Amino acid sequence: MKKTFKIYAVIFIVVMVILALLEVNKKETTNWRKNFNINEKSPFGLFVFGNEAKSLFKNNLKKIEQTPYDYYSERKKEAHNIIVIEKDLDKESWKKIMDQVSDGSDAMILVSNVPKDISDSIGFYSSDISFAEENVLKLTDKVYQNDFIKLDKFPSGRGFSYIKPKVEVLGKTVEKDNTDQVNFIKTKFGKGTIYVHSEPLFLTNYYLLKPGNVEYAQDVFSYLQDRETIWFVENDTKVSRFFMRFVLSNPALKYAWWVLLGGLVLFIFFNAKRKQRIVPVEEPLRNTSVDFVKSIGNLYLQEGDFHDMMAKKAQYFLNKVRMDLLIDTQNLDEEFVKKLHLKTGKTMEMINEAIILIRKGQDPYGNVMKEDLTRMNKLLDEILK
């Protein structure tokens, strides 16, 4: 086993141990989602009510895991009670419930938001919403004046307004800084009766487990007759067919699964590189031409032979003129000056001065100074730009 692999393995094991310790010491967070699920033990589930409902209705309660449309389409029922708690039902299911009520059944609908076409049929047109953090639910009947429930966790604040005269008010929401609003109503519909409560939160685990709150729930359902009661608890969520659903549904297994996948990805990432001998870096061959030119230039400069340097510079210049500008350089006369002036665009004075310096460099007996070499070099470079 190579050294790098051992290092990666140690790092991976250390990370796994740290994650495991964090998971063991992690405090389980409370799920405050309003799910209204009869199998949920979270604060806003209906697990407690689901277990106590049979005794509340004297063992005359049936939990139906079908939609009202499917259930009533398959059978005919005599007059009975219907309970719906915070379910998003389709229009056909609502129609079936209304048909049953019209034939003599009673329906207890505990939902925070009733569909408009149903609310119009019942006898109210809209619902008020309060944003108070706390409120109290009370019944209007004097018999139940001592039974109330205080909502101190996320109340919906919904209540009824624009109630028709035929609708009877059974309960209200009392708030400290607002006027009371209706939350529980009753109305006749055909041969039956419809009860609507806009705050189903009082049936959840969090509130039913508080002392004194059960009485309010009993009072609400006491309006129903003592007969068969159908509670529609049909689950709207479809069961996943994903092969990992069991692992992903369990928080601990899901956490371990993602940690395992993350470890595999890290392992593959660090070991996916090609393993080969290190290729030595070879420096490319240097271009020594520039160094050679600098060395020659330094040599001439050290020798101080400005005359020879002027001669070579003149020779290089005239060669460039012949090759690039195609001008004959045998005679540096006025004709040469005119042609060079036309092709380079430089002034006649500059060219004449350059020719004087070229001739001085070509003269073997000429007296050349360093300043002459500098001036000629500058003029010739300027002409050939």
Provide mean pLDDT across the span 186-203. Answer: 92
- Specify the pLDDT at position 149: 92
> Which value, in Å, is the radius of gyration of the alpha carbons in the chain?
50
- Specify the pLDDT at position 239: 44
Q: What is the H or E stretch that residue 307 is in?
A: helix 306-324
| pLDDT: which is higher, 149 or 364 | 149
Task: With beta carbons less than 8 A apart as the criterion, state whether 88 and 175 touch.
Answer: no
Domain 47-232: give its CATH code: 3.40.50.880
Handedness of CA 326, 332, 334, 340 (dihedral sign): positive
* Spatial distance between the Cα atoms of 347 and 296, rounded to a whole number of angstroms: 32
Residue 5 has pLDDT above 70, yes or no: no
Q: What is the H or E stretch that residue 362 is in?
A: helix 348-362
Quickly tell me which residue has 């510079």 as its tokens. 313
| pLDDT: which is higher, 266 or 64 | 64
- Specify the pLDDT at position 237: 46
For residue 122, the one-letter residue type is: I
Phi, psi of 38 (to 5 degrees): -70, -15
- Specify the pLDDT at position 343: 86
Task: With beta carbons less than 8 A apart as the criterion, state whether 199 and 170 touch.
Answer: no
Residue 381 has pLDDT above 90, yes or no: no
* Spatial distance between the Cα atoms of 181 and 361, rounded to a whole number of angstroms: 114
Provide mean pLDDT across the span 360-372. Answer: 80
pTM here is: 0.58
Q: How many helices (H) and strands (E) in the chain?
A: 14, 11
| pLDDT: which is higher, 123 or 330 | 330
CB-CB neighbours of 37 under 10 Å: 18
Q: Which residues contact 23 (CB under 8 A, 6 or more apart)?
A: 252, 255
Residue 1 has pLDDT above 80, yes or no: no
- Specify the pLDDT at position 366: 76
The two three-digit tokens of residue 233, written as one number:
């608890």
- Specify the pLDDT at position 257: 80
Short-list 167, 159, 169, CA closest to 198:
159
Longest CA–CA span in the chain (Å) reads 140
Residue 274 has pLDDT above 60, yes or no: no
Residue spans of the domains in the chain: they are 3-28+241-271, 47-232, 289-383
- Specify the pLDDT at position 272: 61
Instruction: Please tell me the total number of residues recorded for the chain in this structure.
Output: 385
Short-list 207, 42, 35, 34, CA closest to 136:
207
- Specify the pLDDT at position 25: 64
The two three-digit tokens of residue 72, written as one number:
């009533």
% the chain with pLDDT above 90: 26
- Specify the pLDDT at position 131: 76
* Spatial distance between the Cα atoms of 125 and 259, rounded to a whole number of angstroms: 53
Q: pLDDT of 302-337, one tens digit each?
A: 666 778 788 888 888 888 888 888 888 888 888 888
As a dihedral over the C-alpha atoms of residue 313, residue 319, residue 322, residue 327, rounded to 10 degrees, the angle is: 30
Residue 243 has pLDDT above 60, yes or no: no
CA distances from 24 to 17, 18, 134, 139 (A): 11, 10, 36, 47
| pLDDT: which is higher, 162 or 297 | 162
Residue 85 has pLDDT above 80, yes or no: yes
- Specify the pLDDT at position 11: 78
Q: Which residues contact 337 (CB under 8 A, 6 or more apart)?
A: 348, 351, 352, 355
Q: pLDDT of 23-78, one tens digit each?
A: 666 666 778 888 888 988 889 999 999 999 988 898 899 999 899 999 999 988 89
Q: What is the H or E stretch that residue 197 is in?
A: strand 192-197
